[in-house]
C-alpha cells in the first residue's frame, strides 16, 4: 500500500520546539505566559497594529466569545453562511440563539449578497432584526467584502468575520481577519498554520480584546478574593501551544506561497480538460489557497474521482455539506438559491498541504492524468 497523502497536514518550521523548551525551562506551563503574549504580538504585527488579538483555545471559542461580546442572547437570530464548517454555526446555539442560513454565490462560493439582503428584509418584516452576520472566507477565498459589509452597514448589523481558513488572504490588499466588527482565526491541526489546536479573536478596540481575555479566563473580577459578576469560560490559549504558534508565524508567508503553488499545479493539469471548474480569484481577491478545490461535471464523476484517489491512498474531501442540509439544523430558516447544494454535489477538495513532496505531487498527477 502506498503511504497516505493527506488533504492538509501540519508543517513545522523547526523553531517551534525552541519556544516550547523555553516554556519548560521557565516553568510557564499554564494558559498564560510569554509565548501567549508573544504570539498575540506576532499576529498583531502581521495584521496591522490597529488590530487587537486575544489568543484562545480554538476558533470555535473565538466565535462563541464574539457572539457574547455582540450581546447575542437567548431567542436572538444570527445570519450565517450555510456553506461552511459546522463550527461557524454551533456557537450560535450555545447562546440559545437561532441560526438563519444564507446560500452562496458562484464567484467565491461564499455569502450571496442577494440572499443576504432577502433574509435581512424578511427577518425584519417578521419582527426580528438579526443580531449578527457570520461571514466566512471559505478555503481561503475572501467573500465579497464590499457587498456583504455594505449590507451590514445599511441595516446596522455587526459582522463576525470567520477567517479560520483565510489567514494570509487579502481583499483589495487588506488582510483577511481585519474586516469584521470582530474577526476570528483558527490554528487547528489542518489550517494554514497550526498550534495543534487554538484560535484567536481579533478586535478593532483594545477594550473588546480585554473583555475577551476576561471572559476566557473565568471572568474573575479585580478583587483579592474570587469575585464573579459574569459567567466565565476557560477559553485561553496555553503557553505551550502558543510556542508552536510563534514558530509557525515565521513561515506563514512561505506557507501561502507553497499552497498557491499547489493551486497552480492543479490548474496546469486540469485546464486542459473542459469538464473541471477551478475556483478562480476574482479581481481584488487574493486567496491563501488553504485548500485547492474543483467542481466536476456531475456528482457521479466527483465520486468516481474521489474513489480513484482513495484507491491510491490519497485523501480528498467533498466540499463542506451546507448547514441547511444538516440534520441538527433542519428546523432553522434558510434563504437558498441552489448554489451551495450544487457545490456540495460536484465539488472536491484536493491535497493542499504546504509540505507535499515532489514524489507525492507526481502520484497525484498520475491519478489525474489517468482519470481525465
Ligand atoms: C476550522 C474552522 C473553524 C473552527 O476552528 P477550530 O479552531 O477548529 O475551533 C471555524 N470556522 C471555519 C470555517 C473553520 O474552517
Q: Is the pLDDT of residue 226 over 90?
A: no
Site of grid cell 455594505: 150
**Across 186-205, average pLDDT:** 97
Q: What is the mean pLDDT of residues 31-58?
A: 97
Q: Which residues are within 8 A (CB) of 179 and not within 5 positions of it... i.e. 6 or more apart?
A: 145, 149, 159, 161, 171
The CA 161 to ligand 1 mean position distance, Å, reads 12
Strand order in the sheet with 334-335: 52-56, 199-203, 182-186, 159-162, 132-136, 77-81, 98-102, 334-335
pLDDT greater than 80 at residue 161:
yes
The pick from 8, 55, 57, 59 for probing ligand 1's pocket by mutation, whose C-beta has the most ligand atoms within 8 angstroms, reads: 59
- The stretch 170-192 carries a mean pLDDT of 97
Our answer on whether the CB atom of 199 is closer than 6 Å to any ligand 1 atom is: yes
**Is 188 close to ligand 1, i.e. is its CB under 6 Å away?**
yes
pLDDT at 28 over 90: yes
pLDDT band for position 222 (cuts 50, 70, 90): confident
Beta bridge partners of 78: 99, 132
pLDDT band at 1 (very low <50, low <70, confident <90, very high): confident
Q: Whose CA is nearest to atom 2 of ligand 1?
A: 164
User: From the CB of 88, is ligand 1 less than 6 Å away?
Assistant: yes
The 3-state secondary structure of the chain reads CCCCECCCCCCCCCCHHHHHHHHHHCCCCCCCCHHHHHHHHHHHHHHCCCCEEEEECCHHHHHHHHHHHCCCCCCCEEEEECCCCHHHCHHHHHCCCEEEEECECCCCCCECHHHHHHHHHHHHHCCCCCCEEEEECHHHCCCCHHHHHHHHHHCCCCEEEECCCCCCCEECCEECCCCCCEEEEECCCCCCCCCCCCEEEEECCHHHHHHHHHHHECCCCCCCCCCCCCCCCECECCHHHHHHHHHHHCCHHHHHHHHHHHHHHHHHHHCCCCCCEECCCCCCEECCCCCEEEECCCHHHHHHHHHHHHHCCECCEECCCCHHHCHHHCCCCEECCCHHHHHHHHEEEECCCCCCCHHHHHHHHHHHHHHC
Nearest CA owner, ligand 1 atom 14: 164
With a 6 A CB cut-off, is 104 part of the ligand 1 pocket?
no
Delimit the domains of the chain by residue range. Answer: 16-249, 252-371
CB 101 within 8 A of CB 335: yes
Does ligand 1 come within 6 angstroms of the Cβ of 85? yes
C-beta of residue 132 within 8 angstroms of C-beta of residue 158: yes
Name the residue of 10, 165, 169 to mutate for ligand 1: max ligand atoms within 8 A of Cβ: 165
pLDDT of residue 17: 97
Q: What pLDDT is attached to residue 361?
A: 98
Ligand 1 atom closest to the CA of 61, numbered from 1:
9
**Residue with CA nearest ligand 1 atom 5:** 59
**R_g (Cα) of the chain, nearest Å:** 21
Report how far ligand 1's centroid is from the alpha carbon of 188 (Å).
7
Q: Is the model's pLDDT at 369 over the cut of 80?
A: yes
Q: Which residue, judged by its Cα, is nearest atom 6 of ligand 1?
A: 59
Q: Could you give the CA distance from residue 59 to residue 177 in angstroms, rounded to a whole number?
A: 12
Dist. CA 295 → ligand 1 center (Å): 23
Q: What is the pLDDT of residues 280-328, one digit of tens each?
A: 999 999 999 999 999 999 999 999 999 999 999 999 999 999 999 999 9
Contact yes or no for 57/198 (Cβ under 8 A) = yes
Q: Nearest CA to 105 among 82, 131, 74? A: 82
The whole-number average pLDDT for the span 218-232 is: 89
Residue 165 Cβ inside 6 Å of ligand 1? The answer reads: yes
Which of 66, 88, 110 gets mutated to test ligand 1 (max ligand atoms within 8 A of its CB)? 88
> pLDDT tens digits, residue range 323-349?
999 999 999 999 999 999 999 999 999
Ligand 1 pocket mutation, candidates 66, 139, 164, criterion most atoms within 8 A of CB: 164
161 Cβ inside 6 Å of ligand 1: no
Query: Please, which pLDDT band fits residue 360 given cuts at 50, 70 and 90?
Result: very high
Which segment of 74-83, 119-128, 223-232, 298-307 scores lowest on mean pLDDT?
A: 223-232
Fold of 16-249: 3.40.640
Q: What average pLDDT score do residues 64-79 get?
A: 98
CB of 183 closer than 6 angstroms to any ligand 1 atom: no
Percent of the chain at pLDDT > 70 equals 100
Question: Which ligand 1 atom minimizes the distance to the CA of 138?
Answer: 13
Q: What is the pLDDT of residue 153?
A: 98
Share the mean pLDDT of the chain.
97
Structure confidence at residue 86 as a pLDDT band (50, 70, 90): very high
State residue 223's pLDDT score.
Answer: 83
Q: May I ask the CATH class of domain 252-371?
A: alpha beta
* pLDDT given at position 195: 97
Q: Is the pLDDT of residue 225 over 90?
A: no
User: What was the pLDDT predicted at 304?
Assistant: 98
Could you identify the atom of ligand 1 that is nearest to the CA of residue 60?
9
Identify the pLDDT of residue 2.
Answer: 87
Amino acid at each position: 500500500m502506498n503511504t497516505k497523502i493527506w488533504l492538509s497536514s501540519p508543517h513545522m518550521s523547526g523553531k517551534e520546539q525552541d519556544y516550547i523548551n523555553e516554556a519548560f525551562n521557565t516553568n510557564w506551563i499554564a494558559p498564560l505566559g510569554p509565548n501567549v503574549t508573544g504570539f498575540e504580538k506576532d499576529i498583531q504585527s502581521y495584521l496591522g497594529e490597529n488590530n487587537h488579538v486575544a489568543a484562545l483555545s480554538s476558533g470555535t471559542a473565538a466565535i462563541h466569545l464574539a457572539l457574547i461580546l455582540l450581546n447575542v442572547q437567548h431567542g436572538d437570530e444570527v445570519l450565517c453562511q450555510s456553506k461552511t464548517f459546522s463550527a461557524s454555526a454551533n456557537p450560535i446555539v450555545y447562546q440559545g440563539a437561532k441560526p438563519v442560513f444564507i446560500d452562496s454565490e458562484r464567484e467565491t462560493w461564499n455569502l450571496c449578497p442577494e440572499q443576504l439582503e432577502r433574509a435581512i428584509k424578511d427577518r425584519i418584516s417578521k419582527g426580528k432584526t438579526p443580531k449578527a452576520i457570520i461571514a466566512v472566507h471559505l478555503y481561503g477565498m475572501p467573500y465579497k467584502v464590499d457587498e456583504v459589509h455594505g449590507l451590514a452597514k445599511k441595516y446596522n448589523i455587526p459582522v463576525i468575520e470567520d477567517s479560520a481558513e483565510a489567514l494570509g488572504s487579502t481583499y483589495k490588499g487588506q488582510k483577511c481577519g481585519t474586516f469584521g466588527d470582530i474577526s476570528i482565526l483558527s490554528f487547528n491541526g489542518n489550517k494554514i498554520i497550526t498550534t495543534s489546536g487554538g484560535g484567536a479573536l481579533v478586535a478593532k478596540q483594545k477594550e473588546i480584546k480585554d473583555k475577551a481575555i476576561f471572559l476566557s479566563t473565568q471572568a474573575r473580577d479585580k478583587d483579592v478574593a474570587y469575585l464573579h459578576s459574569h459567567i466565565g469560560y476557560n477559553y485561553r490559549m496555553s503557553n505551550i501551544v502558543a510556542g508552536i504558534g510563534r514558530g509557525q508565524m515565521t513561515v506563514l508567508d512561505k506557507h501561502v506561497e507553497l499552497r498557491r503553488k499547489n493551486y497552480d499545479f492543479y490548474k496546469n493539469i486540469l485546464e486542459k480538460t473542459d469538464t473541471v471548474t477551478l475556483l478562480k480569484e476574482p479581481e481584488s481577491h487574493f486567496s491563501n489557497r488553504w485548500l485547492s478545490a474543483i467542481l466536476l461535471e456531475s456528482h457521479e464523476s466527483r465520486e468516481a474521482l474521489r474513489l480513484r484517489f482513495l484507491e491510491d491512498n490519497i485523501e480528498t474531501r467533498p466540499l463542506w455539506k451546507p448547514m441547511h442540509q444538516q440534520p441538527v439544523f433542519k428546523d432553522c430558516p434558510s434563504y437558498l438559491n441552489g448554489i451551495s447544494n450544487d457545490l456540495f454535489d460536484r465539488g472536491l477538495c484536493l491535497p493542499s498541504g504546504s509540505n507535499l513532496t515532489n514524489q507525492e505531487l507526481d502520484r497525484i498527477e498520475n491519478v489525474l492524468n489517468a482519470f481525465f
